[in-house]
Amino acid sequence: METEFIQPIARPQKPSGKREQTKAQNRHTILEAARTVFADLGYGATTVRDIIRATPLASGTFYNYFKSKEEVFQAIQDESALRIRPRLREERAKARTVEEFISGTFRTFFEYVASDQSNFHAIRRNTDTLRVRMDTVEIIAGFEELREDLEAAIAKGLFPPVDADFLMAAIVGVAFELAERMLRREIVDTNAAAEFAIALFMGGVRALPNLPTLRGGDEDGAG
């Protein structure tokens, strides 16, 4: 047997040595600089060098933490996703009606977007009008959580039987596109955006099962 990996009794608490501290600090410095630069130049126009320059670190150090600007962006997006996902999940878990489900989802999302505008600036302010959306691991997981919750709600009889995959996609599409419009207006009115989306889906969900050639739940529908 080669390396045994014997734990020296136990090590549940953070080592928190100088080393770990600097590492966390550097990572944070880079992410913070990246946020600024992305917001400033837009994702497309930003180079790794721009991020490094906005930092007291050397170029080699950057690459100890991230492989590319894509990975930095991904980390930033993941952070956002991890912040909002539990809130969305909780809203949907405690929903007792369709209205609560839909309403909780959209209100939470738009309020988060409004409070985190810097991230969305980076997506929009780009050379010409290139819009960028990075579906990171955590973001995709968020989408799939939504789909699972929809499927569970359908199984419970809360929702009528519809194609959960398409419904998830529609919710995501409306959420992002309305968020975009919402931020573009002079007064950012999360309430107006949320109420619009909620009304749309409340009416839509009722109408959806009446599809003439309905074949909803073909794909993984486990009854």
Residue ranges binding DNA (CB under 7 A): 15, 17-20, 22-23, 26, 47-49, 56-61, 63-64, 67-69
Task: Using CB under 8 A, list all residues that contact its own copies.
Answer: 44, 68, 70-71, 74, 127-136, 140, 162-163, 165-167, 169-170, 172-178, 180-181, 185, 191-193, 195-197, 199-208, 210-213, 215, 219
Angle, nearest 10°, between helix axes 69-93 and 98-115? 150
User: Per this entry, what is the length of the chain?
Assistant: 223
- Closer residue to its own copies in complex, CB, 24/202: 202
Angle, nearest 10°, between helix axes 98-115 and 190-207? 150
At its nearest, how many Å lie between DNA and the CB of residue 77? 18
Residue 83 interface partner, choices DNA, its own copies, none, CB cut-off 5-8 Å depending on type: none
Q: What is the DSSP string of 166-220?
A: HHHHHHHHHHHHHHHHHHHSSS--HHHHHHHHHHHHHHHHHHGGG-TT--TTTTT
Residue 63 interface partner, choices its own copies, DNA, none, CB cut-off 5-8 Å depending on type: DNA
At its nearest, how many Å lie between its own copies and the CB of residue 98? 12
Count of CB atoms situated within 10 Å of the CB of 100 = 14
- Closer residue to its own copies in complex, CB, 56/203: 203
